[in-house]
Amino acid sequence: MKKVLLFCLLLLWATFFALGPVQAETYDDLKAEIRALMEQNKALTERLKRVEEELNHLKAREGVEKMAEPQGEGESGASGFLSEAQKRVKLSGLLEFGGAYKNTSYKHGDDVDESDLAMTTVELDFSAKLNNWVDVTGVLLYEDPTFTSDENSFDVDSASVVIGNDQEPFTLTLGKIYVPFGGLFTYFPDDPLIDSPLTLLLGETNEKAAVLQYSNGGLFISTYVFNGDVEEEGEDENKIESYGFDINFKYGFDFSQLNFYKRGEKYQHKEESCVDFIVGASYISNLADSDYVSDMIGDTVDDYVGGMDFYLHMEHCGLFLEAEYMGATEAFSEEVLSSGHTGARPYVWNLEAGFTYNWWKELEIAFKWAGSHDTEGLALPESRFGVNFNQTLFEGVTFSLGYLHDEYHDHDVESRDDRDLMYGQMAVEF
């Protein structure tokens, strides 16, 4: 800084003696020029000081960033690990809070009124892509059913390793999953707020299984094996002998969003088409392995009874139709599941139709007709009618309001005659 000041004074001195009396006409003019040069020198000094401070700040920030970078194998810092985890792991979830009122009429007794509020679902989904061939996915689930006080649960609902990529037709899924049996479609809220669709109750099977899927365009074929919880009487319990398959054809969907091992997947159609279409069929070798059926009949049967399912989903520019039929391929023994004085051969169906109307936000209006046969011992209604409204309030926030009416079999295991159920639910997805 002293050099700059000395240079300015020398320049002033040279200018004064070089120009002499011609340029500096008066002493006052010379004094004014000196004052101006001093002001310029002061401004230059302050500017150099600011530049020096900015340079020191940049050096300090560069040093911090260098410390955060991995220094070698096994020496990555915490910020580097979190950044890498954020890139590879995806988190999503679901919160559901609802309330319900029901009136149940019994064949021999008074009507019973019940009402309840519950934090029905807290769900956390996670997935991670390890490389081009291997993905992992899982669901942590807490459920608090309505009309109960001690049956809430927290569990690993599903967890699997998926081997395959978009360029290959085959995908192998290993883990605790819902095996691909049936479409299990519905536009209504289900358990634990209200009873699930009859098809889901009869067929939903969560097992530790291996599933091999083949896909080609819109064609999907899945086959699977698992060691079920329900065994034939007298047989070895630790034996992989349950199996099944599912074949379906999809048109108009974004196939990247369709993962059969995810429970409650909401199908997404391609933006360029307002036509969605799914038709499929399924088979399972042991229908008694269904989560609901095994709870009702126990863990042993005389002989395995297979199950079959046919399903259809259609959507055209806001109008939708879903139909499904599911049933046993033969009758159970009377000791396992009876219908009157013979063994039961249960089957169920579910039919839903409605439309989507975008009046402010998207509103879905769905009507249901469902029923069952030979299901007295499973406590399923003989017929069910209902209506449901799903109103989108904000992105990821849906309010549902609906009504269901059930008529029960003459020999219902709980001696019910009919039931009316009204409910409301707020669901938040993130």
pLDDT in tens, 157-171: 999 999 998 889 999
CA distance 337 to 411: 13
CA distance 77 to 70: 6
Give percent above pLDDT 70 in the chain.
Answer: 80
CA distance 249 to 216: 10
Q: Output the pLDDT for position 253.
A: 62
DSSP character for 239?
A: -
User: Higher confidence at residue 262 or residue 204?
Assistant: 204
Helix (H, G, I), strand (E, B) or coil at 118: strand
pLDDT band at residue 150 under the 50/70/90 scheme: low
The pTM (predicted TM-score) of the whole model is: 0.77
Q: Output the pLDDT for position 17.
A: 47
Is it the case that residue 133 has pLDDT exceeding 70? yes
pLDDT in tens, 292-312: 999 999 989 999 999 999 999
Is it the case that residue 96 has pLDDT exceeding 80? yes
pLDDT in tens, 349-360: 999 999 999 998
Within the chain, all domains assigned CATH 2.40.160.10 are found at 91-429
pLDDT band at residue 13 under the 50/70/90 scheme: very low
Q: Output the pLDDT for position 104.
A: 96
Q: Output the pLDDT for position 38.
A: 74
pLDDT in tens, 235-273: 767 789 999 999 999 988 654 444 433 334 444 444 445
Q: Output the pLDDT for position 44.
A: 73
- What is the CATH code of the structural domain delimited by 91-429? 2.40.160.10
Q: Which two tokens stand for residue 209?
A: 């299984």
pLDDT in tens, 24-35: 456 677 777 777
Give percent above pLDDT 90 in the chain.
Answer: 60
Q: Output the pLDDT for position 121.
A: 93
Own/partner pairs, 402-405, CB within 8 angstroms, 24+ separation? 402/188, 402/189, 404/188, 404/194, 404/195, 404/368
Provide the residue type at 349 as one letter. Answer: W
Specify the range with the lowest mean pLDDT, choosing from 43-52, 102-111, 140-149: 43-52
pLDDT band at residue 276 under the 50/70/90 scheme: confident
Tokens 């021999």 locate to 108
